[in-house]
């Protein structure tokens, strides 16, 4: 019989989450869903949020998401006041990455049987998340399905809408190489990689409770930059599912070199004792929840606004013309540089 340590998963795939299969499915979905009307989109699926023009130079940005197996942690710890914040965060942070200002939010809440205490706490979290994101909760759907969900289990999904003008749209097209990358602190593990982390962190560990710290919402500093320094952001990357490979999404044909690092939260140091460092960066945010790309002369302005909004931020690297690749140097706990080849679209 294998020892407990040998039986532990050391990758997201071994924990039951196959990122490559998901990417393959999304690629097929894009092809099968394509219709003539999609030509009107300013941005389609795969770019954090889809952007649909409504009149003249105005458009709506649309994003939907959930919180994954973080729900199981909430059930396990009987704590339901924070994951509603996560739900809003996972949707709204994607809207920001296309230059949109968030406006309204809707939720979908499905369960086996309605528990008023749990439901009230979930809704309080969603409302709190909307307040942090400067959005309005305008509707949703609640569904009891006892034949589908076991007692005490439920699911959450969110749908966020924002607005953006044509000249404010962030497409990544302006990125040429030479731009600086600013890293903005996360609040911990956020809502990604938890299928793996839950299997590696024991239930009696204080890190188990830390995993329920809600995902950071970056609306206030980012929208302030949109307002005070319009056009200076050339690329935004929400470090979400797929970890640091997200940094290449603004323009996948380019290279992204990281050579400085924000402090790594303790939870990632613990997970790093079991998981290879490259897998860590391909699964988790490693302490950085958002990356901002801009010209060197704009870095100070951007960092000052994030700091004024109580986010730690610093210049961590640069965009290069040598892609498609992500190179991570001087990573805590790594020997030599980490090279992650990315497929350009």
CA distance 209 to 101: 32
- CA-closest candidate to residue 288, choices 214, 337, 238: 238
Half-sphere exposure (Cβ direction) of 199: Cα atoms closer than 13 Å: 19
CA distance 244 to 291: 10
What is the 8-class DSSP label of residue 202? Answer: -
- Which of 25-29, 59-63, 272-276 shows the lowest per-residue confidence on average (mean pLDDT)? 25-29
Place of tokens 């059930």: 75
- Is residue 329 over pLDDT 50? yes
Q: How many CB atoms lie within 10 A of CB 142?
A: 12
pLDDT at 116: 97
323 compared with 31, residue with greater pLDDT: 323
- Is residue 305 over pLDDT 80? yes
pLDDT at 25: 52
Residues 6+ apart with CB under 8 A from 160: 62, 63, 64, 88, 91, 92, 94, 95, 102, 104, 105, 106, 135
Q: What is the pLDDT of residues 8-39, one digit of tens each?
A: 777 666 665 665 665 665 555 455 456 566 77
By DSSP bridging, strand 255-258 and strand 325-328 are: parallel
How much of the chain exceeds pLDDT 90, in percent?
82
State mean pLDDT over 166-195. 96
How far apart, in Å, are the Cα atoms of 241 and each of 122, 205, 214? 23, 24, 15
pLDDT at 4: 41
CA distance 233 to 227: 11
- Average pLDDT over the chain reads 91
- Which domains are present in the chain? 42-168 (3.30.1330.10), 180-341 (3.90.650.10)
- CA-closest candidate to residue 118, choices 79, 71, 77, 158: 79
CA distance 87 to 105: 10
pLDDT at 284: 97
State mean pLDDT over 71-85. 97
- Is residue 198 over pLDDT 60? yes
- CA-closest candidate to residue 125, choices 98, 89, 159, 96: 89
Give residue 16's region: left, alpha or beta (phi > 0; psi -120 to 50). Answer: left
Half-sphere exposure (Cβ direction) of 109: Cα atoms closer than 13 Å: 21
State mean pLDDT over 184-191. 98
Long-range contacts of 303-309, Cβ-Cβ distance < 8 Å, separation of 24 or more: 303/182, 305/221, 305/224, 305/225, 305/228, 306/182, 306/184, 306/221, 308/221, 309/220, 309/221, 309/224
């Amino acid at each position: 019989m294998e020892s407990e340590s040998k039986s532990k998963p050391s990758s997201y795939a071994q924990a039951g989450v196959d990122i490559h299969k998901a990417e393959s499915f999304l690629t097929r979905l894009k092809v099968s869903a394509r219709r003539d009307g999609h030509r009107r989109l300013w941005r389609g699926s795969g770019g954090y949020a889809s952007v649909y023009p409504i009149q003249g130079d105005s458009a709506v940005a649309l994003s939907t998401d959930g919180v994954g197996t973080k729900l199981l942690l909430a059930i396990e710890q009987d704590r339901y006041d924070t994951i509603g914040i996560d739900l809003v965060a996972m949707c709204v942070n994607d809207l920001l990455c296309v230059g949109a200002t968030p406006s309204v939010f809707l939720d979908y809440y499905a369960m086996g049987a309605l528990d008023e205490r749990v439901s009230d706490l979930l809704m309080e979290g969603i409302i709190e998340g909307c307040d942090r994101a400067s959005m309005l909760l305008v509707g949703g759907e609640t569904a009891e399905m006892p034949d589908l969900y076991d007692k005490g289990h439920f699911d959450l999904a969110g749908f966020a809408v924002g607005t953006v003008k044509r000249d404010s749209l962030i497409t990544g097209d302006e990125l040429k190489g030479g731009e600086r990358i600013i890293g903005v602190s996360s609040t911990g593990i956020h809502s990604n990689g938890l299928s793996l982390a839950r299997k590696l962190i024991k239930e009696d560990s204080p890190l188990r409770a830390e995993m329920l710290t809600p995902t950071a919402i970056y609306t206030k500093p980012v929208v302030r930059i949109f307002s005070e320094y319009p056009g200076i952001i050339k690329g935004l990357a929400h470090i979400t599912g797929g970890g640091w490979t997200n940094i290449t999404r603004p323009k996948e044909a380019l290279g992204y070199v990281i050579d400085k690092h924000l402090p790594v939260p303790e939870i990632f140091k613990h997970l790093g004792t079991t998981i290879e460092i490259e897998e860590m960066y391909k699964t988790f945010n490693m302490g950085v929840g958002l990356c901002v790309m801009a010209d060197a002369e704009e870095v100070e302005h951007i960092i000052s606004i994030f700091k004024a909004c109580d986010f730690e931020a610093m210049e961590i690297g640069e965009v290069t013309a040598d892609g498609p690749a992500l190179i991570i140097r001087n990573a805590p706990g790594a020997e030599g540089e980490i090279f992650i080849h990315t497929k350009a679209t």
